[in-house]
């Protein structure tokens, strides 16, 4: 029993002085303020703990034999759907006609409302190789000029001119899967016979490829992704030319907290515009030229450690409690000093 009194020296919670146990209005106010601060900080720390954050990791891309999904949604307010075609070519020069596609052309009136649809079962329009307008492909097929038009061609010319007079436009919407190699896809009037195109537009300099990119992505979206070409508007006035978007695709894996994995792609882009000159033999178009990065990015969702949360919570609440006690003592002493400084009644 002789050792028991010495244990008092290790008591970290000595009894408070008598004046500190006295209940006052100032103490009640400080207590209420302290409780409000502690509840606020507790809610903040709990939200901070429950909120997930992401970790980024880079490694060499080892994927093989997969396709690259491309989701497009582009409007052409000055070109009817009858003159537009979609074409995709990989780096070997192969037309991607054997891959799965799901592309629609939506006819738009001058107010942007949909007035008709057309499904493209093939990326390359029929007989594409025999009437390509780009001089870079002229070596593909020997072409014989045809200066006469049959009844179908005349009917098409009249139909397109009427649509252009009515301010009709077109939206190209859908998805396509291409080989996982560098390549390009473009939207243009290259599917038209060159003489039909001349009859419609009176030369390449009058082809207005103004467009609005509502969405362009290379795979499904994950939380926080940013597609730099979304909601991009390029409107031409009294000029014509070819738009080229050079895209660097970065393979990406998004790993959810639930261990689910979402394979997708990010990309960066550089834009270039080439005006049409009278001597040019090419026709205006909108090109999307893409290349794949050899590096893949893994984005992993993480949650903060529970022990870290408890440590921060104890520090915040304990610190608030200690500051509240100090404030209570300070206010009590001020009030006491003011009370003692007042002259007592009956004294001179």
pLDDT in tens, 99-139: 446 888 999 998 888 888 877 654 543 333 333 444 444 33
Check pLDDT > 60 for residue 282: yes
Tens digits of per-residue pLDDT, 155-211? 888 989 998 999 999 999 998 888 888 999 999 998 888 888 888 888 888 899 999
pLDDT band at 326 (very low <50, low <70, confident <90, very high): confident
d(CA 32, CA 38): 10
Q: Provide the sign of the torsion angle of the four alpha carbons 249, 251, 256, 262, taken in this order.
A: positive
Contact indicator for 332, 24 with CB cutoff of 8 Å: yes
- Report which of 196, 194, 187, 182 is spatially closest to residue 169, judged by C-alpha positions: 187
Q: What is the 3-state secondary structure of the chain?
A: CCCCHHHHHHCCCCCCCHHHHCCCHHHHHHHHHHHHHHHHHHHHHHHHHHCCEEEEEEEECCCCCCEEEEEEEEEECCCCHHHCEEEEEECCCCECCCCCEEEEEEEECCCCCEEEEEEECCCCCCCHHHCCCCHHHCCCCCCCCCCCCCHHHHHHHHHHHHHHHCCCEEEEEEEEEEECCCEEEEEECCCCCHHHHHHHHCCHHHCCCCEEEEEEECCCCCCCCCCCCCCEEECCCCCCEEEEEEEEEEEEEEECCCCCEEEEEEEEEEEEEEECCCCCCCCCEEEEEEEECCEEEEEEEECCCHHHHHHHHHHHHHHHHHHHHHHHHHHHHHHHHHHHHCCCCCCC
CA angle 34/39/44 to nearest 5° reads 125
Two structure tokens written together for 13: 């919670």
Query: Per the structure block, which two tokens stand in for 145?
Result: 């000029």
Do 282 and 133 meet the contact criterion of CB atoms below 8 Å apart?
Answer: yes
pLDDT of amino acid 144: 40
Q: What is the mean pLDDT of residues 273-300?
A: 90
The domain spans of the chain are: 19-52+303-329, 63-250+269-296
pLDDT average, residue stretch 29-58: 85
**What per-residue confidence (pLDDT) applies to 209?**
94
Model confidence, pTM: 0.72
% of the chain surpassing 90 pLDDT: 32
pLDDT confidence of residue 252: 95
Residue 20 pLDDT exceeds 60: no
For residue 186, the Cα-to-chain-centroid distance in whole angstroms is 22
């Amino acid at each position: 029993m002789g050792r028991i009194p010495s244990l008092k020296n290790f008591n970290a919670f000595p009894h408070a002085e008598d004046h500190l146990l006295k209940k006052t209005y100032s103490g009640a106010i400080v207590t209420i303020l302290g409780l409000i601060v502690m509840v606020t900080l507790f809610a903040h720390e709990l939200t901070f703990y429950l909120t997930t954050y992401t970790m980024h990791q880079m490694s060499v891309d080892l994927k093989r034999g997969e396709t690259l999904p491309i989701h497009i949604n582009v409007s052409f307010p000055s070109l009817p759907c009858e003159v537009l075609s979609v074409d995709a070519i990989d780096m070997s020069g192969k037309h991607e006609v054997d891959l799965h596609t799901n592309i629609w052309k939506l006819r738009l009136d001058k107010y942007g409302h949909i007035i008709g649809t057309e499904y493209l079962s093939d990326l390359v329009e029929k007989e594409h190789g025999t009437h390509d307008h780009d001089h870079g492909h002229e070596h593909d097929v020997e072409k014989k000029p045809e200066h006469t038009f049959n009844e179908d061609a005349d009917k098409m010319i009249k139909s397109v001119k009427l649509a252009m007079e009515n301010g009709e436009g077109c939206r190209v919407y859908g998805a396509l899967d291409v080989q996982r190699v560098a390549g390009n896809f473009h939207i243009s009037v290259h599917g038209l016979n060159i003489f039909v195109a001349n009859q419609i537009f009176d030369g390449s300099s009058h082809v207005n490829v103004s467009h609005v990119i509502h969405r362009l992505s290379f795979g499904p979206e994950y939380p926080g992704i940013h597609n730099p070409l979304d909601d991009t508007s390029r409107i031409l006035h009294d000029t014509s030319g070819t738009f080229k978007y050079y895209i660097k695709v970065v393979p990406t894996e998004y790993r959810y907290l639930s261990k689910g994995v979402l394979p997708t792609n990010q990309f960066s882009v550089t834009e270039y515009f080439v005006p049409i000159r009278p001597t040019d033999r090419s026709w205006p178009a909108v090109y999307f030229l893409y290349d794949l990065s050899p590096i893949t990015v893994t984005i992993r969702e993480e949650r903060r450690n529970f022990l870290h949360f408890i440590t921060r919570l104890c520090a915040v609440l304990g610190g608030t409690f200690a500051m509240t006690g100090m404030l209570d003592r300070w206010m009590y002493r001020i009030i006491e000093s003011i009370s003692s400084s007042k002259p007592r009644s009956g004294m001179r």
